[in-house]
């Protein structure tokens, strides 16, 4: 997907994209490539692949969630090189973004990226998601929590649902095995206070793969013992 095709596809789908935003995406890619030579951020650095599998893929959340209504807070768990939250911030500048990532070097890249792109209201935290979710400052404080390709649904639910306000929405962005993962995670989602609202399945353009966006609403408070200690959700997923 060339930058021009990226712009045309977003326009076709009523996602607002200006020339200034296009320049921000181009600078994003330049910085990603530059930093990727020093630290391992991504295996995808070729321009057309990055526009499709990083930028466009991140923005598919905006096809199913209306980020234009009011000012919302969004926490991105395990963001890596900023996906999906930084592309969403570029397109929806009113979003208040919080990113938590366990690797200090990635946070260093994101600090540079946010400054270079002139983004405001982006807060970066070097922390484990399990610890972050037990922090009273952040627990049950976000309108949206998102994660893209971080872990299985049963694990992700334990990391993400505690961070949501009641009636907030967890946006899980998954690849091909999402239906099986969701089936395995249903009990955990209920235990953590969530309820699956809907699942959207689609293929990326250019036969770039199957994607699923699962929207889970938080209907009741998450029990205080979740998330468990760092590493425990991954080693012993809730079933």
In a domain, 8, yes or no: no
- Residue by residue, pLDDT tens for the chain (239 residues) are 999 999 999 999 988 899 999 999 999 999 999 999 989 888 888 999 999 999 999 999 999 999 988 779 999 998 889 999 999 999 999 999 999 999 999 999 999 999 999 999 999 999 999 999 999 999 999 999 999 866 889 999 999 999 999 999 999 999 878 888 899 999 999 999 999 999 999 999 888 788 999 999 999 999 999 999 999 999 999 87
* Domain assignment present for 221: yes
CATH number of the domain within which 121 lies: 3.40.50.150
Residues annotated within the binding site for S-adenosyl-L-methionine are 78, 83, 129-130, 148
How far is 39 from 176, CA to CA, in rounded Å? 28
Is 96 inside a domain boundary? Answer: yes
- Whether residue 49 lies inside any domain: the answer is no
pTM: 0.93
Cβ neighbours, 10 Å, residue 234: 14
Question: 19-36 and 3-12 helices cross at what angle (nearest 10)?
Answer: 130
Q: Does some domain include residue 193?
A: yes
Give the pairing of strands 164-174 and 210-218. Answer: antiparallel
The answer to whether the beta carbons of residues 145 and 79 sit under 8 Å apart is: no
Give binding residues as ranges: 78, 83, 129-130, 148
Number of domains in the chain: 1
Q: Can you give the residue range of the structural domain that contains 114?
A: 68-235
Q: Assess contact for 175 and 209: CB atoms under 8 A.
A: yes
């Amino acid at each position: 997907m060339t930058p021009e095709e990226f712009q045309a596809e977003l326009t076709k789908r009523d996602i607002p994209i200006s020339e200034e935003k296009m320049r921000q995406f181009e600078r994003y890619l330049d910085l990603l490539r530059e930093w990727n030579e020093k630290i391992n951020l991504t295996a995808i650095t070729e321009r057309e692949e990055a526009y499709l599998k990083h930028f466009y893929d991140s923005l598919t959340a905006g096809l199913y969630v209306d980020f234009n209504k009011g000012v919302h807070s969004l926490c991105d768990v395990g963001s890596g090189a900023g996906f999906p939250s930084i592309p969403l911030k570029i397109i929806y500048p009113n979003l208040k973004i919080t990113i938590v990532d366990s690797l200090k070097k990635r946070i260093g890249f994101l600090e540079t990226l946010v400054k270079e792109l002139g983004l405001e209201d982006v807060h970066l935290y070097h922390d484990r998601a399990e610890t972050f979710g037990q922090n009273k400052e952040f627990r049950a404080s976000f309108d949206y929590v998102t994660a893209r390709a971080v872990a299985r649904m049963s694990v992700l639910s334990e990391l993400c649902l505690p961070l949501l306000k009641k009636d907030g929405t967890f946006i899980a962005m998954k690849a091909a095995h999402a239906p099986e993962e969701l089936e395995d995670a249903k009990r955990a989602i209920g235990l953590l206070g969530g309820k699956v609202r809907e699942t959207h399945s689609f293929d990326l353009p250019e036969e770039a793969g199957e994607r699923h966006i699962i929207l889970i609403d938080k209907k009741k408070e998450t029990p205080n013992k979740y998330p468990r200690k760092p590493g425990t959700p991954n080693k012993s997923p809730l079933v």
